[in-house]
Structure formats: C-alpha cells, structure tokens
Chains A and B, each alone.
Chain A
C-alpha cells in the first residue's frame, strides 16, 4: 500500500481533546491545536471562534516541513521545537513523535517558560495516545466506511 491512511477514532479523539483542553488552561494559552504533518487539523481548543484553523494548520505543517528540510541539510534529525515571538501573540510549535504537531498560541498572560514546561508534559501524553492509535489502525480499508461506497455515490458528489 503506497499511501497509508491516518484514522481517528472517537476514543482517542476524546483523549487528545482532553489533553489539549487542559493544556489551554495550564499554560494560560489562547489557543492550542494539533495538526498532522500533512496539514490536517486534528484537534483545537481555546479561543478558536475567530481563527482560521484550516489555514493555520496548513501553514504550520508547511513551516515544520521547511524546517525539517533545513535540519536535513544540516544533518540534524529534526528541530523538534520552534518559537515565534510577536508583539501581542507568540506561537510555540512542538513536534510530537515525529508524527503530529502541537501548536500553542499565547500572549503576555503566559510565558515561554510555562508553555514549554506544560508542552513537555502534554507531549508525553500525546505520544502515548498516538502510539495506541497507530497500533489500532492495522488494516486500513477493512472497516473503512468507504469500502462500501459505490461508483454512483462518487458520481453523485459531482452532480451539481
């Protein structure tokens, strides 16, 4: 199989959401979200109503991809963490298990030290959850809801 699917189940989703919700509180953050390395948003929490999380997810993944490219050229395995400081907002980006990206957006109510501390703890927990999730996804397609779709279903999507 050329292209393994990433699958998210309810159980793991809830566990991830719990970690993310707690991180918002414990790190005094404005927003916390998790993206996979291809730019798909997995989970988000905090003040996200006025935030374009889809675009943020894609750009964060692009950023991590570019940084990973730089690391490779420097014969570094990966730069696991990044920090960008703005006038009002700061952003901390952490690779988790080289698979997903944990992003924390915070302002003056928090500090880089606190964010890093809390992120480290959350990273361990997330690592465990994603490991479990990956081991669960053995045979993609076997229980995929898409195994039973018909050509007609696909055609219907385009009949507008």
Chain B
C-alpha cells in the first residue's frame, strides 16, 4: 500500500524480494546498498541469525528522486527464504506494492523455486492480493554458476504470465538494478492508474 504524504510531498512504496532460501535476496539488497549514493539511501537493517541467514527481514530505504514535485521513496524488504519461516513471510507481504521473485538458477534448486513461487501465491491470496494484479518481476539469479538451468526452462516453469524477467548475478551486481528499476516502474505506473 503506497503512502502519499501531501504535507511532506512524498510518496512511499514497499517492494518485497521473495524467493527460496539462499537464492540471493539479501545479496541483491547489499549490492544496491553498496552502489547507491549516500544521500539516496538510509541504513540497511538485517535481522539475521548468527550464521547470516535472514530471520525476519532485511530493510533498505531508497530515494529515487522527484516526480512532479513529489519525492519518491522505496522501502525494500526481503523475506526469510527458509520454508519454516512462513509466518514471517506472510507478515512482510502486508501492504506490498511490488514483488521481485528471486529464483536460484542452479539445477538442484529448481524444485525449491517452484515451491517458493507456490508459497508466494498462497500467501498473497490469503491477503486478498494476486500475482496477476500486483506489480511483479522475476530475476533468475546466479547465472555465473556452472550447474544452471537454461533461462528458457526457468521461464517456462516460473513465468507463465510472461512478466518482465532478468538474468542476474547478484554478487557481481549484474541484473540487480535492472530488476529493481523494472519493478519500480511498474509500481509507479500502477500509482498513475490510481491503484
């Protein structure tokens, strides 16, 4: 749910990175954090376990610039990917304006991707949202690894709706900003339509 503040002339939107455990959601945020001008970002918060697995969420506030005199701010969140943190994932999806599904391209994670995508649909439906209606893009991450599934196959499995999708390597940053820009554009376009 976007928040328009006429007083502060600000518009705030919430973007959530979803995907299976260890697919690189936090790495996406870390890359964005490292590569963003200090004026345009706030502190990055990670609620993680001692072994750096996301426990509740990561949070990164970003300013994109002005549109018609309104500052656009995006709050980026990741969900914990591990299956048993489902209750937390549901909470983080509340009020979401746009979703990035981060898929792990490795052959052995194919099933985990599918499971996480199904879980996303279920959790959205519980809150009365649907993937068909919400700004949504997909990122095929870890394209630098040797044991990966061809993009066509991933697309067939995960992207039947043919939403914008991007190949990425979040460690090096390839595709990270492309994915974020794509979802941000969709969110702003949705706002324009009054959504």
Residues on A close to B: CB < 8 A?
A: 1-10, 13-14, 36-40, 42, 52, 54-55, 58-59, 62, 65-66, 68-69, 139-142, 144-149, 151, 153-155, 157-158, 160
Contact = CB atoms under 8 A, between A and B. Distances in A.
The 3 closest A-B pairs by CB, nearest first: A141-B194, A38-B95, A13-B7
A68 B128 CA distance: 18
23 contacts: A2-B129, A2-B130, A3-B1, A3-B97, A5-B4, A6-B2, A7-B6, A13-B6, A37-B94, A37-B95, A38-B94, A54-B42, A54-B61, A59-B45, A62-B56, A65-B92, A141-B195, A145-B4, A145-B68, A146-B70, A146-B188, A146-B194, A148-B192
A140 B194 CA distance: 6
A146 B193 CA distance: 8
A27 to B, nearest CB: 24
A145 B69 contact: yes
Instruction: Describe B's contact surface by its main secondary structure.
Output: mixed
Q: How large is the interface on B (under 10, 10 to 19, 20 to 34, 35 or more residues)?
A: 35 or more
Contact of B91 (A66, A144, A155): A66
Given A40-B12, A158-B181, A69 B67 contact: no
Contact of B6 (A10, A38, A155): A10
B147 interface: no
Given A52-B43, A69-B91, A8 B188 contact: no
B178 to A, nearest CB: 10
Given A10-B6, A148-B192, 7 more contacts: A38-B95, A40-B75, A62-B56, A65-B91, A146-B191, A147-B194, A153-B68
